[in-house]
Homo-oligomer: A and B are copies of this chain.
Amino acid sequence: MKKYNFNAGPSILPQVVIEKTAEAVKDFNGSGLSIMEISHRSKDFQAVMDEAVALFKELLQIPDGYSVLFLGGGASLQFCMVPYNLLEKKAAYLNTGTWANKALKEAKFFGEVVEVASSKDALYSYIPKDYTIPADADYFHITTNNTIYGTEIRKDIDSPIPLVADMSSDIFSRPLDVSKYAVIYGGAQKNVGPAGVAFVIVKEDVLGKVSRPIPTMLNYRTHVENGSMFNTPPVLPIYACLETLRWLKALGGVEVMEKINIEKATMLYEEIDRNPLFKGTAVPEDRSIMNVCFVMSDEYKDLEQEFLKFATERGMVGIKGHRSIGGFRASIYNAMPKEGVQALIDCMREFERINLR
């Protein structure tokens, strides 16, 4: 039985990335050595790093003056690295869910934090829109895609102060105007590659403005100046990222990807809205094209476990919703093919036929 991986992250990767990575684990570039045992200072790995950075810049049309970093520690480490490097007195955060909250909490170690708006009142089912970004804060932090709640900020917003975005789960899902951001960061394990590496796109001139001393490894400048090679980087995960970026480029880049993503998300949301058994949890205008969250309709709540079993038996993997919201979550990242979404829709229709005949 074909399986479709709807895991929220680590999540589905393109088949070619899996195959190329397995090959490189056995023999990298015909060197007779595994990618796991080569020096990160070797010419061959430097080429991997250079191409990964170049593809980031090309695919996202990153303007001059920005560096692309690949760092260990995950996006969670970035929650403290951002304020360590940028927060002198005050930072502003938009609270759109669990991960936004975690980021906000870390900033409090470094200074005053203003929560400019929150959708906590409605279990984060929408993106707050009526808020004022304080002009005297050092930066404004947003979480563009909220994996747990299935909401997404799909426009590059205007901010009077440096804009920092956690794009862990929607980077490369659409074209971006990077010039509107000071920092964009995220864990790789959704649209970029496997777990074990975080990416940071940082505008160089926002650095060096805080007065606190910054430990070397937590200082973005260290990594900018050393091309992410100050210390041994996560070699194998970065290689898998490179293969993912190559795949994305071959497919046509983020413009093509966005069309496919919208198509996939539309198919699934239409089924959720049509099928009387199900209902979406996010307000329609803020629905994520990456994580589609839905529950059983009120009158069919008792069928939840049954549908989970039904879908799992038909090859759907990882569709159980996060415990804080329940129901179901279909993570349909870049690598999820349309046929996977169709297979899930077929399950929902079949389940409807069985239960509502």
Tell me the A residues contacting B by CB distance below 8 Å: 3, 5, 7-13, 17-19, 21-23, 25-26, 31-34, 36-40, 71-77, 79-80, 84, 102, 105-106, 109, 187, 189, 193-197, 213, 215-218, 230-237, 240, 317-318
User: Given A10-B232, A196-B196, A231-B76, A21–B32 Cβ distance below 8 Å?
Assistant: no
User: Given A80-B215, A195-B233, A197-B196, A36–B9 Cβ distance below 8 Å?
Assistant: no
Contacts of A5 in B (CB 8 A): 33, 37
CB pair B77 A37 closer than 8 Å: no
CB pair A232 B33 closer than 8 Å: no
Of B10, B26, B34, the contact of A37 (CB 8 Å cutoff): B10
Counting chain B CB atoms within 10 Å of each CB, the highest count among A11, A187, A193, A217 belongs to A217
Contacts of A3 in B (CB 8 A): 31-33
Contacts of A215 in B (CB 8 A): 79-80, 84, 106, 109
Q: In the bound complex, how far is the Cα of B84 from the Cα of A109, in angstroms?
A: 13
Contacts of A80 in B (CB 8 A): 215-218
Q: In the bound complex, how far is the Cα of B106 from the Cα of A216, in angstroms?
A: 7
What is the count of identical protomers in the complex? Answer: 2
CB pair A13 B36 closer than 8 Å: yes
Contacts of A36 in B (CB 8 A): 10, 13, 17-18, 21, 193-195, 240
Contacts of A193 in B (CB 8 A): 36
Of B32, B73, B194, the contact of A217 (CB 8 Å cutoff): B73
Q: In the bound complex, how far is the Cα of B194 from the Cα of A25, in angstroms?
A: 10
Q: In the bound complex, how far is the Cα of B1 from the Cα of A31, in angstroms?
A: 11
In the complex, the chain B residue whose C-beta lies closest to that of A231 is B76
Contacts of A26 in B (CB 8 A): 18-19, 22
Query: How far is the CB of A188 from the nearest CB of chain B, in Å?
Result: 10
In the complex, the chain B residue whose C-beta lies closest to that of A26 is B22
CB pair B79 A217 closer than 8 Å: yes
Among all A-B residue pairs, the 5 with the closest Cβ atoms: A196-B234, A76-B231, A36-B194, A80-B215, A72-B72
Of B102, B105, B236, the contact of A195 (CB 8 Å cutoff): B236
Q: In the bound complex, how far is the Cα of B195 from the Cα of A197, in angstroms?
A: 11
Between A and B, 22 residue pairs with Cβ closer than 8 Å are A7-B39, A10-B40, A10-B232, A13-B34, A13-B37, A18-B25, A19-B26, A21-B34, A22-B22, A22-B26, A36-B194, A36-B195, A72-B77, A73-B73, A73-B217, A74-B217, A76-B217, A80-B218, A84-B215, A109-B215, A189-B232, A195-B234
